[in-house]
Amino acid sequence: MRKPLIAGNWKMNNSIAESLALVERLKVLLKDSSGVEILIAPPFTALAVVRDAIRGSNIKLGAQNIFWKDSGAYTGEVSPLMIRDLGCEYVIIGHSERREYFKESDEVVNKKIGTALRNKLKAIVCVGETLKEREDNRTMQVIESQIKRGLEGISTSELRIVIAYEPVWAIGTGRNATPVQANEVHAYIRRLLSQIFSEDIASGIRILYGGSVKPSNSAELMSEKEIDGALVGGASLDADSFTQIVRSACMV
Active site residues: 95, 166
Vertex 180 angle, CA 147 and 161, to 5°: 30
Near ligand PGA by CB under 6 A: residue from 4, 5, 6, 9 = 9
Cβ–Cβ under 8 Å, residues 174 and 195: no
Residues 70-89 that bind ligand PGA (CB under 6 A): none
Which residue lies nearer to ligand PGA by CB, 115 or 212? 212
Residues 191-210 that bind ligand PGA (CB under 6 A): 210
Cβ–Cβ under 8 Å, residues 111 and 68: yes
Which residue lies nearer to ligand PGA by CB, 61 or 231? 231
Distance CA 175, CA 8 (A): 18
CB of 93 to ligand PGA, least distance (A): 12
Cβ–Cβ under 8 Å, residues 90 and 39: yes
CB of 208 to ligand PGA, least distance (A): 9
Residues 114-173 that bind ligand PGA (CB under 6 A): 166, 171-172
Q: In 78-130, which ranges are E strands?
A: 90-93, 122-127
Which residue lies nearer to ligand PGA by CB, 42 or 234? 234
Q: Is residue 211 at the binding interface for ligand PGA, with CB under 6 A as the rule?
A: yes
- Scanning 77-85, 115-123, 191-199, 232-240 for contacts with ligand PGA by CB under 6 A, the matching segment is 232-240
Q: Is residue 94 at the binding interface for ligand PGA, with CB under 6 A as the rule?
A: no
Distances in Å between the alpha carbon of 85 and those of 17, 70, 82? 22, 12, 5
Cβ–Cβ under 8 Å, residues 226 and 2: no
Q: Is residue 213 at the binding interface for ligand PGA, with CB under 6 A as the rule?
A: yes
Phi, psi of 248 (to 5 degrees): -65, -30
Residues found near ligand PGA in the complex (CB under 6 A)? 9, 166, 171-172, 210-213, 231-235
